[in-house]
Chain A
Amino acid sequence: MPRERPLRPVSSETTPLPDEQEMERVPRAAERLDSVQGHSGSGRRAALNAGLAVIAGRAVGALSRRLHLGGGTSIVGVVAQRVYPGIVAHLATQLEYGCVLITGTNGKTTTSSFITAILRDGGLRVWRNREGSNLERGVASSLVIRALPNGHLRRSGHAISVLEIDEAALPHLVQELPARVVVFTNLFRDQLDRYGEVDSVATFWRNAISQLPQTTTLVLNADDPGVAFLGESFTGKKVYYGIDDLALNQLADTETARYQVMDTRTCPRCGGEFVYDARFYSHMGHYRCPQCGLRRPEPDIRAVQVQQDAFDRQRMQVLAGTFQHEVVIPLPGLYNIYNALAAITAARSLDVEWEPVISGIEQAKPAFGRGERVQVEGRTLRLLLAKNPTGFNEVLRTLFSQGAARHVLFVLNDNIADGRDISWIWDVDFERAVGLTRTLVVAGTRAFDLGLRLKYAGVAEEAMTIIPPQPLPVARETTRLQGAIAHFQNVGARLQNVGARFISPSVPSTSPASPTVSDAPVPVTSAPARVYGLKKALDVALEQTPVGETLFIVPTYTGLLEVHRDLEQRGLTPHYWEGDEA
């Protein structure tokens, strides 16, 4: 019932409200919806359907939460879409400031966090989808939970939606979401079992771009040839970002360059092999095709003079036209320089002033598992998600490039959300970690595979503790004796543990890991006499990390979820979900 909506124009000619003048107004909707809502009969039916969908979705969501059937987030969207398939388009077109979509292999979540922080600093109400809910149903959920039973968005949709979108879901979602800006971060090899090949993702994206209206702005990474090339087929506005700091060029550093995983090495236009004048990591850099002349586009927003102040404090000069601004990034790794650049470029193409851009980036909190910090029993945990070869390589570089030895826990899972194929670990530069792990625990459903990878990288078997999820049933049969020995050793260690608690008075007896025992139970886990499970892995890793030091946890996606769940059970609820409601 369009009449009942607060006085907000459906067409784009209306003058913006004074306080939002810096924001360009969105063309209100995909045409087909405009026409639907124009006729009051069908419009009423749409609103009615939408209302029913909202009620049904939220009811089921509440029920599922009550029954503890998981988070109850994506079920909201699933049910609402079942009731009214047009629910996403219906609600999204009510968003006053439209949507910013972020897609790409790596960096979606952190880039979204940055953009959200900037836009909030700029005074806007920002609605996000939850991390990991980047398929259509997740996007539907994020809108439905902000809708009223009359089929209208809360606060009259006086908000902007920042949505991270799965690479493969993009073509369908751009049909439903009025995207003002679409950000493409990068294109790496990821989950080949799900997407097929790297090229199929590029095909999804070209398909999506062909459906975008001219009014959409594309924000593209100039340094990633697979992403930059997407601009060729789009006639609307395109803005490029890239790194121009040649001190970061890795081609000079043969040791690092040798093991780089290049996921795009040939020209998407003619198939010629790229030549690089500078390469920052993987296939990101200043490339050109000697065959057809395709070359990296000149970026509109460029980073120079990237400096590392501390482990998670970097500084860069951002050049935009003739202007130069210093930006501080509170996260580690070169990949976060790219994420920050993507966010800055997206915000600037929405005409946000520089002041909130700079303050937004500087104050952004690490997203879920992306450099996030948790205090546990006097130790600091840092969670660094690594879900594909390039992501993993960059995390390892961030951890080990300064030559400092670290306490590390790797968690390698091969669940569906991680990708079932873990052969990519053999392309990751684990050689870099040799000699730089003070203590090392390897866990996850594929702990043996990763242990093997580390062994072949040159890490001594005695230097790591491999903790698989559960014992091999056969191992119990064939090594019953060893198992019995291990059991007694375990009991022994536990007794020692108990004893230590009485002996050392400064440590509260509830602490499962006092410094006194930290060196005692470790040898128990050597060779086939193993302990099992992620909980145990966390225990061992924590025990091995002395008080006051940092344990770096590098998990794949579902490994991260498990670690989080475990930390929650220990009463350490790291804040991670972005505040849902602004």
Chain B
Amino acid sequence: MSKSSASSRSLTLGHLYPDQLNLYGDRGNIVTLQRRCELRGIALRVVGLGIGDALAPDEYDMLFIGGGQDKEQAPVAQDLYEMKGIGLWAAIEDDMPVLAVCGGYQLFAHYYRPADGPDMRGLGVFDAWTVHKGPSAPRYIGDVAITWNGMTLVGFENHGGRTYLGTAKPLGRVLKGYGNNAEDHAEGAVYRNTFGTYLHGSLLPKNPHFADHLIELALRRKYGEHLYLGEEPLDDLPLETTSLTPVNDTLEWEAHASLLERLGLHNEAIAALRTQKG
């Protein structure tokens, strides 16, 4: 395996509002992407984007936005719209992989209507909207499992807002838990390579296939389809370095399967453990 080319692959992850939207262990998602890149010899640089920072889409290969408290979400919503909106739209339309969890997911829809106070305007990436039905409406709290891409995703959800999808495609179907609104079995939303979801816990550590999917999308986008798939490998870039090499995920899938098992999803748990072997 040639070394120079392998180590030359690098990605830059823009972490939006790391100081404001960090309530639900979002650091786990960043740590996971970092580690899984590192294991493949990909250098992942993480850049924090706070309030007031502009977003130049060509500087990043992936973006992440987490969730926070309502109080902290309001100034973020304004900044997201005014400072980063155009850059984000450009990135998203250009197929950059973007993961938006919880509060970040809500801000990617048309609007968030809090229990009290004015509506927060969202980016409208997803044709969806979120309503908080007042302080007495129960929050949706608990472990959750959804289908995704013929497999499962597991996590924890804790949200007061109910999200309703217009034409947006859901990320998956709820197997156990609440999902977007506990009414239509939909969870999350997808637009191009932008993924919105309520699943935290953190999401990526226990869902290594999803983490790798995001990394693959970023690599494919940056280094090109043919090169990524190894159809026409460049002379100095051997085939095996162009796709993600498998890593030992035994623990990850045990954690994944144990949560499925706790939710009573026996067959899905078996399937998850098989994934790890196959």
A466 at the interface (CB under 8 A from B): yes
Partner of A477, one of B72, B160, B270: B270
Q: Which residues of chain A come closer than 8 Å to B31, judged between CB atoms?
A: 426, 456-457
Q: Which of A18-26, A446-454, A537-545 contacts B (4 or more CB under 8 A)?
A: A446-454
Known interface pairs A452-B205, A452-B206; A528-B35 also in contact (CB < 8 Å): no
Contact B32 A475 (CB under 8 A): no
Contact A421 B156 (CB under 8 A): yes
From B71, B205, B261, give the contact of A473 (CB < 8 A). B261
B residues near A451, Cβ cutoff 8 Å:
251, 255
Main secondary structure of the interface of A (DSSP, over half): helix
A382 at the interface (CB under 8 A from B): no
- Minimal Cβ-Cβ distance residue in A for B71: A199
Residues facing A in B25-51 (CB within 8 A) are 25-28, 31-32, 35
Q: Are B69 and A198 in contact (CB under 8 A)?
A: yes
A455 to B143, CA, bound (A): 22
Q: Which residues of chain B have C-beta atoms less than 8 A from A193's C-beta?
A: 141-142, 158
Q: Are B258 and A448 in contact (CB under 8 A)?
A: yes
Smallest CB separation, B261 vs chain A (Å): 5
Residue from A420, A455, A468 in contact with B258 in the complex, judged by beta carbons closer than 8 Å:
A468
Q: Which residues of A contact B69 (CB under 8 A)?
A: 197-199
B274 neighbours in A (Cβ, 8 Å): 478
In the complex, what's the smallest C-beta–C-beta distance from B182 to chain A, in angstroms? 16
- Number of A-B residue pairs having CB atoms within 8 Å of each other in the complex: 111
Q: What sequence of 0s and 1s flags, for each residue 238-256 of chain B, a beta carbon within 8 Å of any chain A beta carbon? A: 0000000000101110110
Give the chain A neighbours of B35 by CB distance below 8 A.
456
User: Which residues does chain B contribute within 8 Å of A448, judged by CB atoms?
Assistant: 251, 254-255, 258
Tell me the bound Cα distance from A196 to B32 in angstroms. 26
A472 touches B261 (CB 8 A): yes
Binds A, one of B16-24, B55-63, B187-195, B217-225: B16-24
Q: Which of B20, B205, B206, B274 has the most CB of A within 10 A?
A: B205
Q: Kindly list chain B residues whose C-beta atoms are within 8 Å of the C-beta of A271.
A: 71, 75
Q: Which positions 468-496 of chain A face chain B at CB distance < 8 Å?
A: 468, 472-475, 477-479
Say whether B269 faces chain A, with CB atoms less than 8 Å apart: yes
Inter-subunit contact A423/B156 (CB<8 Å) = yes
Chain B residues whose C-beta falls within 8 Å of the C-beta of A247 in the assembled complex: none
Q: With a CB–CB cut-off of 8 A, which chain B residues contact A475?
A: 254, 257, 273
Is A379 an interface position by the 8 A CB rule? no
The reply on A238 being an interface residue by CB < 8 A is no
- Chain B proximity of A323: nearest CB distance (Å): 40
Residue of A with least CB distance to B20: A265
B29: min CB distance to chain A, Å: 8
Are the C-beta atoms of B27 and A426 separated by less than 8 Å? Answer: yes
Query: B169 contacts which chain A residues (CB < 8 A)?
Result: none
CA–CA, A540 to B141, complex, Å? Answer: 35
Taking CB as reference atom, which chain A residue is nearest B70? A197
- Give me the 10 closest cross-chain CB pairs, A-B, nearest first: A426-B28, A423-B25, A426-B25, A448-B255, A474-B269, A197-B69, A474-B270, A423-B201, A193-B141, A426-B202
Name A's B-contacting residues (CB within 8 A). 189, 192-193, 196-199, 262, 265-266, 271, 420-427, 448-449, 451-453, 455-457, 461, 466, 468, 472-475, 477-479, 527-528
